[in-house]
Amino acid sequence: MSALPANPDHAVVTFNTPRIFPKIATLEQWQQRAHTIREQVLISSGLWPLPQKTPVCARVFGKIERDGYSIEKVFFQTYPGFFLAGNLYRPARHGLGPFPAILNPHGHFSTGRMTDTRDNSTAARCIGFARRGMVAFSYDMVGYNDSRFPGAAPDRDFHQAHVTFGTNRTDQLWSISLLGLQTWNSIRALDFLESLPDVDAKRLACTGESGGATQVCMLGAVDDRLTAQAPVVMVSHSMQGGCACENAPGLRIEYSNPEIAAAAAPRPQILVAATGDWTRTTLEVEGPALDKIYALCGAPERLRYVRFDSGHNYNQTSREAVYGWFDRWLLRHSEAGPAHEQPYAKEPDALLRVFPDNLPATALSEKQLAQELKQIHQSQWNALLPGNKDDFANFTRQISPAWRHVMQLESPESTAITHDRLDKNQCTISHLDFKHPGEPEKLSALLFEPIRQRTDHSGRSLTVVLAGPDPLPGCLDRDRNPRGLIRKLLTKGCRVLAINRFSSGAIQDQFGSFFTTYNRTFLQNRVRDLAGVCGQCRSLTPGKPSRVVLWGMGPAGTWSLLAAPAADAVVADAAQLPVLEDDALLSPELFCPGIRTIGTLEGAAMLAAPNPLLLHNTGENYPIKGIQSAYQSIGALKKIRIESQPVSEESVLKWLLNL
């Protein structure tokens, strides 16, 4: 389910672009894909590595006893200074427990968890669960009711308050987003439920509608503590969610909601759809797609999907379908059919509100929380800097997946297609196109192969990939013979691949309409191109493996440094970029969401250790301490050369030929 990248020849992908569930042939294939989906959700959410779980300091108070259940007010801290609030519904006349427990995130209804209409009522389903012998916790979206930031008027439109967090462009560099905050809130809400003495931690579930169903799917993809889940009116191939709390950079470039929901397999799951919204094709499209995954997992009975003739809601009919499903898997009833909902009465809002007036004095503002999250990321990075081999191994385990996902390298490697071939006296020249699977754009290059190729002690040849803003002019003379740098490399026995045109064209507006959730940025496309070419160059000649040196000139130096883990050696022109300044990284040519969480440019270079690295033209303020620490930690400090000024072509050639 790969979205097409942004380019002038193809429409930008949006949350309304239809997606196709990928063909999965084996359980092993799915398990690997599900693993990468989980990584992508966590990394896109800014939760890789997971932040430290500080004490939630929960307070439960204000108990109201009703027929068959009780209601209490709850608040706790998901991060120090951010207060998540809601209501806890507990069963009465069912003994002392422990009971199953269900999280209940709500959708984008005007009054959030307080909504109580014929079409939707969070209170109704929580009361229904409690009466059936389950604990239910309903909690706010960020900005709704009690889970707001200081200074927000209690009577302010909740959705307007909801979408203001994580809107600074700099936040994207640090993977700070509304979706990330709400996903973390759901993880901590599970922690809260687990801590209750009357809750069975082995029988936890989650259900919500619309945007609340998005939270169900995100939580289900990353947290194995859930026993069952029920996303309602959201899992669709044709609409992925239109709110900031449903869109984080990178999240759905390769994956869509049906796949994210399927990542929970073989966990019991019911999809509830409606004829009056974007889930209308669930019986024909989304449900059968998940059927195949559950069948591969050997658990077809653990998936159910239903569709009701209604609008976009979580009404009584839908609630009763979920009651029956949870009865089977949480209360261990033998049947999974609909269960009748008794008449209920929602309490007045005033009795359910946790902070009707003021938040606790320690509550952080939006700006303060964003700054705190940046400090958390920076502290995590500092803690990962290696001092020895074990540290470096841990660094690689943590940052290598983050690098792949931040750079959006999850597609299979590109394939090489030879168009024409020209035999010259000292070399062969071929025109190659490299194509990413399922995408129309191609990377074009010329491959120069000397008659006698240089090999190392293990018999591998040396291929130099030349990347620059436009490296081909001056490569050939009038008679189409190689000249200049390419000729010099050929005389030394090196094979040369000179990139003529990259696969993506003009830069799009990368900051509007959730662009980065569904499309690669200019920088991500360039790095992906180079990583794919490096993979192909190792095996261009069958039976003759090659070492690949990636040589990036001018702007391509930055792209090459970020693609360094895909090469066997790298020469990169740092172009004296002020990479410590956020404004520089927000330029269209350098913008890449999440890049700060992987150490900006240092992280990729560190992952390349112990491969040789020549980084030049850094200037005086370029960050290099991390690179030096990585190479030193594994005894490879002699493999790097870092120069503050530009290094001459001849000097690079001398370094390269001594590899």
pLDDT at 2 over 50: no
Kindly list the domain boundaries of the chain, sorted by start residue. Answer: 27-375, 404-657
φ and ψ at 494, to 5 degrees? Answer: -90, 140
| CATH pick for 404-657 out of 3.40.50.720, 3.40.50.1820, 3.90.226.10, 3.40.50.300 | 3.40.50.1820
pLDDT at 631 over 50: yes
Distance CA 378, CA 93 (A): 50
Distance CA 536, CA 546 (A): 10
Fold agreement between 27-375 and 404-657: yes
Sort strands 461-467 and 427-435 into parallel, antiparallel or unpaired. unpaired
pLDDT at 500 over 70: yes
What pLDDT shows up at residue 1?
A: 34
- Helices 27-44 and 286-296: angle between axes, nearest 10 degrees: 120
Superfamily of 27-375 according to CATH:
Alpha/Beta hydrolase fold, catalytic domain (3.40.50.1820)
> 315-325 pLDDT, tens per residue?
999 999 999 99
pLDDT bracket for residue 366 (50, 70, 90): very high
The residues, ordered by sequence, that sit 6+ positions from 68 with a Cβ below 8 Å of its Cβ are 91, 92, 93, 130, 131, 342
What is the arithmetic mean of pLDDT over 105-116? Answer: 96
What pLDDT shows up at residue 8?
A: 40
> 130-169 pLDDT, tens per residue?
999 999 999 999 999 999 999 877 667 898 989 999 999 9
What is the arithmetic mean of pLDDT over 170-196? Answer: 98
> 439-455 pLDDT, tens per residue?
778 899 999 999 888 88
> 29-48 pLDDT, tens per residue?
999 999 999 999 999 999 99
What pLDDT shows up at residue 472?
A: 60
Mean per-residue pLDDT of the chain? 93
**Neighbouring-strand partners of residue 269:** 229, 303
pLDDT bracket for residue 10 (50, 70, 90): low
What pLDDT shows up at residue 419?
A: 67
pLDDT at 568 over 70: yes
Place of tokens 């850094």: 618
> 512-563 pLDDT, tens per residue?
889 999 999 999 999 999 999 999 898 877 777 889 999 999 999 999 999 9
Q: Which regions of 106-184 does DSSP assign to beta strands (E)? A: 135-139
What pLDDT shows up at residue 4?
A: 33
The tokens describing 199, both together, are 């809750």
> 266-312 pLDDT, tens per residue?
999 999 999 999 999 999 999 999 999 999 999 999 999 999 999 99
What is the arithmetic mean of pLDDT over 592-608? Answer: 97
